[in-house]
A = this chain, B = another copy of it.
Amino acid sequence: MAGGDSYSPLTSPPLEMQFEKFRVQLEDSGTLRERIRTVVMEIESSTRLMQASLLLVHQSIPIPQVLEKANTQINVLKDLYSKLAEVVRECPGQYYRYHGDWRSETQMVASLLAFMHWLESGNLLVHTEAEESLDVLNDSDFALDLEDYLVGICFMSNEMPRYVVNQVTAGDYDCPRKVLKFLTDLHAAFRMLNLRNDFLRKKFDSMKYDLRKVEEVYYDVKIRGLATTGDSVGDQGTQKI
């Protein structure tokens, strides 16, 4: 059926061999995805514990105490990301092929790390610091994708209004001013970016509502003469507002 027949259908063995090779390749890729999935599920689980610890911040537990508990998960995450990087290292140049498999979990990790850093220092966790936290700073095969980091920062911003409301409830009247300053600067910085019309853009748009909500809380404490500044307490309510 081969040779002579110029129109001849496929000679079966090569076709089968060819697809046997494809089968192996697809299976390898499938196995890799399974391994990634296993690690990502652990990341997700560790993130959930970290998040649970951080939620206590809304109940006026002292920040150092909150952070101490959350910090224990950072080492867990370091290990998990080093595992993940190891898996990804096996297929050089294919980080972005599998990126979707850990993307959303990593955005959440970035968000929590940034929130913790802000609670501790009042500053923005910068991109390289976030990579350092996950021990992937100088990894040539695995990085924290810039857009994932930025989405994480937007997620952190989404937590701010709730934090401010609870802090004021607990009597910390200076919190709105600080958060407002932080968010205003952050929002202005984001505005420098020329975002495509995509997921990050949508998340950034939501930051405007966080800002507005925090402004309203600040307004509430100011109008009631509750907003202290760092200076003295006596001149509050009349001169300052």
Contacts and interface: CB of A to CB of B under 8 A. Distances in A.
Interface of A: 1, 4-12, 14-16, 18-20, 22-23, 25-27, 30, 45, 48, 51-52, 55, 58-59, 92-97, 99, 121-124, 126-127, 141, 146-147, 150, 162, 165-166, 168-169, 171, 178, 181-182, 184-196, 212, 215-224, 226, 229-230, 241
Nearest to A221: B223
Contact of A26 (B23, B181, B195): B195
Contacts of A195: 26
Contacts of A22: 127, 146, 150, 193
B96 A194 contact: no
25 contacts: A4-B230, A7-B122, A9-B182, A10-B124, A15-B124, A16-B192, A18-B126, A19-B189, A26-B193, A45-B194, A48-B194, A52-B192, A55-B187, A58-B215, A59-B184, A93-B96, A94-B96, A162-B212, A165-B212, A166-B215, A166-B219, A168-B222, A169-B218, A169-B219, A224-B224
Interface residues of chain A: helix, strand, loop or mixed (majority): helix
B194 A122 contact: no
Contact of A223 (B123, B178, B192, B224): B224
